[in-house]
């Protein structure tokens, strides 16, 4: 009887775990789709009919999201930058891209409130605060490199974006790595933008899924994507309401929300140019020792293949290059292999 009780308890426990989806909630820089999904309870409405609970985790940092995935605490990264996915891959943390979010080239920045700093060239010997191992970190390094410097020329102090902004405005650090709403708030306090990602890095924000979760629940992942598509449709058809919700969530004005929306370049798909830029990102991260080995992202099964194909802009894939050439041309897809089913999705050379 005791054994039966333990068995039934274990069964109930496992069943409860299987009926929960852990999703990261990332509102920065201005992830309007995810904001709408949460504020309108779209995921709950989709999954509650099957007794599946949605649990949101507020984790802004891509690096910390990857750690949560590795620990099994997160199933779906609602928004994660591809730089963090690449870095995670070298640590054997497999996060599959299943949908695009945005390409916000204008909402990531290197900022200062120090009147003696007028350009990136003035950063030598200065202190910079921001989240390491992220897209913002990559932008900083790229800006330094473009101006004949490297990470040894500055002191990077690890901080979250809000902490970095507060430290910069208080004069405790010279420069901060900021995004979206924090950029606007810092500008109001007199801070200036030294550079954005434009011309340096092509930001690619995507939905990332823990590999084991994707294999176990491909149908749930498909339904998640369906809900995100619904959120995009809501934004399209109810723009004013969507922007108001975004403004409230960020604590900014409607006008500022409108500004961030225009700068965010929301999308559901990536182009072949976006995909090919992964190789440039890998090479740069390797050069600056943010990763120690070169990686190739390779789908391993039917579910992953399907998501990768759908992730790429269909019109471009079907009509400009031809479907087969898109899948086979390693210069375009950075060696995405759709025939090799025996290797890890993140192989390290």
- CA dihedral defined by 237, 238, 239, 244, rounded to 10 degrees? -170
Cα–chain-centroid distance for residue 233? 21
Q: Which residues pair with 348 in a beta bridge?
A: 295
- Of 157, 199, 203, nearest to 180 (Cα)? 203
pLDDT value at 54 more than 70: yes
CATH architecture group of domain 108-196: 3-Layer(aba) Sandwich (3.40)
Instruction: Provide the Cα torsion 195, 201, 203, 204; round to 10°.
Output: 180
Higher local confidence (pLDDT), 4 or 194: 194
pLDDT in tens, 280-313: 888 888 888 888 877 765 444 444 555 666 676 5
DSSP state of 144: H
List the CATH code of the domain at 2-103+204-348: 3.40.190.10
94 has which bridge partners? Answer: none
What are the E-state strand segments in 120-258? 127-130, 155-158, 175-179, 192-196, 205-210
257-284: pLDDT as tens digits: 999 999 999 998 888 788 778 888 888 8
Higher local confidence (pLDDT), 296 or 162: 162
Q: What is the pTM (predicted TM-score) of this model?
A: 0.77
Write down the domain spans for the chain: 2-103+204-348, 108-196
Q: What tokens appear for 86 in the block?
A: 């690449």
Q: How far apart are CA 344 and CA 301, in angstroms?
A: 10
Distance between CA 154 and CA 132 in Å, rounded? 13
Residue 159 — very low, low, confident or very high, per pLDDT cuts 50/70/90? very high
């Amino acid at each position: 009887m005791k054994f039966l009780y333990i068995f039934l308890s274990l069964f109930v426990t496992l069943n409860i775990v299987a009926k929960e989806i852990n999703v990261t909630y990332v509102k920065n820089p201005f992830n309007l789709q995810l904001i709408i999904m949460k504020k309108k309870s779209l995921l709950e409405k989709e999954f509650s009919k099957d007794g599946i609970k949605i649990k949101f985790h507020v984790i802004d940092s891509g690096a910390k999201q990857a750690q949560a995935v590795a620990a099994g605490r997160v199933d779906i990264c609602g928004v994660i930058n591809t730089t963090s996915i690449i870095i995670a891959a070298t640590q054997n943390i497999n996060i599959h891209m299943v949908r695009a979010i945005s390409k916000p080239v204008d909402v990531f920045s290197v900022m200062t409130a120090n009147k003696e700093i007028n350009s990136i060239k003035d950063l030598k010997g200065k202190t910079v605060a921001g989240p390491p191992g992220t897209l913002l970190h990559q932008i900083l390094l790229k800006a330094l490199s473009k101006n004949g410097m490297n990470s040894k020329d500055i002191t990077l102090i690890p901080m979250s974006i809000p902490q970095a902004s507060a430290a910069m405005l208080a004069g405790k650090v010279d420069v901060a790595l900021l995004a979206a709403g924090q950029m606007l708030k810092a500008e109001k306090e007199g801070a200036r933008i030294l550079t954005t990602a434009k011309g340096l890095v092509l930001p690619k924000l995507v939905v990332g899924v823990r590999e084991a979760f994707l294999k176990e629940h491909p149908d749930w992942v498909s339904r998640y994507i369906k809900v995100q598509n619904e959120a995009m449709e809501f934004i399209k058809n109810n723009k004013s309401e969507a922007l108001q919700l975004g403004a409230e969530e960020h604590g900014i004005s409607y006008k500022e929300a409108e500004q961030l929306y225009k700068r965010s370049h929301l999308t559901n798909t990536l182009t072949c140019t976006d995909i090919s830029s992964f190789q440039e990102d890998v090479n740069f991260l390797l050069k600056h020792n943010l990763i120690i080995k070169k990686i190739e992202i390779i789908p391993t099964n039917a579910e992953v293949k399907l998501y990768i194909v759908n992730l790429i802009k269909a019109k471009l894939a079907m009509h400009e290059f031809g479907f087969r050439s898109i899948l086979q041309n390693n210069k375009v897809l950075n060696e995405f292999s759709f025939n090799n089913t025996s290797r890890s999705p993140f192989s390290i050379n």
